[in-house]
Amino acid sequence: MTLEEGVKYVAAAYGVIMAVIVIYYFMSARRVATLQRDVQLLEDEARRLQGGAE
């Protein structure tokens, strides 16, 4: 196996790993943001209903 071929395989392996980590990071960051916004909306709604009831 020549050095060039070896580099290709190594690059492929590291590339897959990096890709997965980066994709995971951004997907989960977005998930957290969406969920926190949902919590905020629901809590506001709850407060509003309580305020209305009283």
Partner 1 sequence: MKKLLSAPALFAAAGILLVVGVVLAFWYSPTDSSSMGFSQKILYYHAPIAEAALVAFGVAFVAAIAYLRTQDMKWDRLSFVSVRLGLLFSILVMITGMIWGKAAWGTWWAWEPRLTTFLLVCFLYAAYWVLRSVVDEEQRRATYAAVFAIIAFIDVPITFFATRFLPEGLHPVVIGPGGGGMEGSMAVSFAICMLGMTLLLAAMIRRDYEIELIKDRVSDLKTSLGG
Tell me: does residue 20 bind partner 1 (CB under 8 A).
yes
Tell me: does residue 46 bind partner 1 (CB under 8 A).
yes
* Three-state DSSP string of the chain: CCHHHHHHHHHHHHHHHHHHHHHHHHHHHHHHHHHHHHHHHHHHHHHHHHHHHC
Structure tokens at 21: 């980590």
CB of 51 to partner 1, least distance (A): 14
Using CB under 8 A, list all residues that contact partner 1. Answer: 1, 3, 5-7, 9-10, 12-14, 16-17, 20-21, 24-25, 28, 31-32, 35-36, 38-39, 42-43, 45-46, 49
